[in-house]
Amino acid sequence: MLDLVAELDQIGDEIFEALGSALRSGRYILGPNVEAFEREAAEFLGARFAVGLNSGTDALVIGLRALGIRPGDEVVTTGFSFFATAEAIANVGAVPAFADIEPDTFNLDPEAVEARIGPRTRAILPVHLFGHPAAMDEIGAIAERNGLPLLEDAAQAFGARLGGRPVGSLGRAAAFSFFPSKNLGAFGDGGLLVTSDEDLARQARRLRDHGAGRDRYRSESLGYNSRLDELQAAILRVKLRRLEAFNRSRRRVADAYAERLRRNAEIATPIERPGAWHAFHQYTLRLPDRRRDPVRRRLAEAGIASAVYYPGTLAQQAPFAHLEAELPRAEQATREVLSLPIGPTLSESQISRVCDELVAALS
Ligand SMILES: Cc1ncc(COP(=O)(O)O)c(C=O)c1O
């Protein structure tokens, strides 16, 4: 789906140099690279603070804890995302209240959000799925009317923008993932919590280090060991400088796919809403449901990778199966979506081969 080694070939010298000096520095946890990366990422994202963490999942958990979400609270979120979105809510003891999606962007439908707000709702957690920004203006207005904080799950959307503003600066806080396949990927796990709220940033710094404040050996609450490490931060600093160029290359691939595929009546290519700048973490199209799985098999026979993100809704996952949720549009998406290979280094001839095989499989 993504050639990470080809990406490394383009930036290897800088990466190996950064790793060498980080290794020789003798500081491996919460050192100068993490500090510098936090500053550079916050500036890139238009936020005041960024806190480097172990993973995107931890960024969600720590974000929810810092917002004061407690056992028994409800958090309204999308029914169509990676498991970690809902898992984080459940792991702080809260209950995910799943809302349905907009069929064209696959993101939370603002009207469905409004309908799920109840007396126990304490936050709204939109996901910028596949790199397309969620409808933050509408969801933000609902959050404000109801006095609820917004925590963005921006794991898939580093570099995406809405109305010219980077996602990650559109709510009270945002969680990013640096899982290797992400638009900004580490060579291991990593995550980031971003906010312009100083108190929230302080809480997140405390929670990532066993709940300890200024004095390392005096914990104010239970926390986690969830620190971004120096080697990953050194890599991320190099890759952040290339991110805009890499994201533009992803769009080049997306444009080439759209050019070739949008005339086919059975393919619905991804859209970009007015004002939105899609980061194309995934290139996810829709096919008629009876066609999707046979087409996928044909592609696999031709040696072409494809993926189904996601084969089930969050409400269909075992730990959430007891929760009441009406998600007909998310369920339909699970039967129709197909993601094609995408990445900054995909060549014109690779794109052509994917398109040729896909069109042939449909004919
Ligand atoms: C939407 C979404 N949320 C959360 C996560 C969790 O991130 P991580 O794998 O870094 O824990 C991921 C990615 O894996 C994701 O795609």
Q: Whose alpha carbon is nearest atom 10 of ligand 1?
A: 56
> What tens digit of pLDDT does each residue of 38-72 get?
999 999 999 999 999 999 999 999 999 999 999 99
Q: Is 232 touching ligand 1 by the criterion CB < 6 Å?
A: no
Residue 68 main-chain phi, psi, to 5 deg: 85, 20
204-239: pLDDT as tens digits: 999 999 999 888 899 999 999 999 999 999 999 999
According to the model, what pLDDT value does residue 261 have?
A: 98
Distance 158 CA to ligand 1 centre (A): 12
Distance from Cα 263 to the centre of ligand 1, integer Å: 33
- Give 29: exposed, middle or buried? Use CB within 10 Å, 0-12, 13-18, 19+: exposed
Identify the CATH number of the domain defined by range 4-238.
3.40.640.10
Which ranges in the chain belong to alpha helices (H)?
A: 4-25, 32-45, 56-66, 83-91, 110-116, 136-145, 198-207, 230-261, 289-301, 328-336, 348-362
Delimiting residues of CATH 3.40.640.10 domain(s) in the chain: 4-238
158 lines ligand 1 (CB under 6 A): no
Give residue 315's pLDDT.
98
C-beta 153 within 6 A of ligand 1? yes
Alpha carbons 157 and 131: distance in angstroms, whole number: 4
Intervals of CATH 3.90.1150.10 along the chain: 243-362
Mean pLDDT of 251-267: 97
Whether residue 352 is predicted with pLDDT greater than 90 in this model: the reply is yes
- Tens of pLDDT, residue by residue over 105-134, are 999 999 999 999 999 999 999 999 999 999
Question: Ligand 1 centre and the CA of 363: distance in Å?
Answer: 36
The predicted model gives 189-200 an average pLDDT of 98
User: Mean pLDDT throughout 323-345?
Assistant: 97
Write phi, then psi, for 33 (nearest 5 degrees).
Answer: -70, -40
Instruction: Kindly state the average pLDDT of the residues 235-260.
Output: 98
Q: What mean pLDDT do residues 292-313 have?
A: 97
- For residue 216, the model assigns a pLDDT of 87
* CA of residue 175 to ligand 1 center, whole Å: 9
Q: Which two tokens stand for residue 4?
A: 């990470």
Q: Does domain 243-362 have CATH number 3.30.565.10?
A: no
Kindly report whether the global pTM for this prediction surpasses the value 0.95.
Answer: yes
Contacts of 245 (CB under 8 A, 6+ apart): 344
Q: What is the pLDDT of residues 130-172, one digit of tens each?
A: 999 999 999 999 999 999 999 999 999 999 999 999 999 999 9
**Is residue 185 in contact with ligand 1, taking CB distance under 6 Å?**
no
Tell me, in angstroms, the distance from the centre of ligand 1 to residue 265's CA. 33
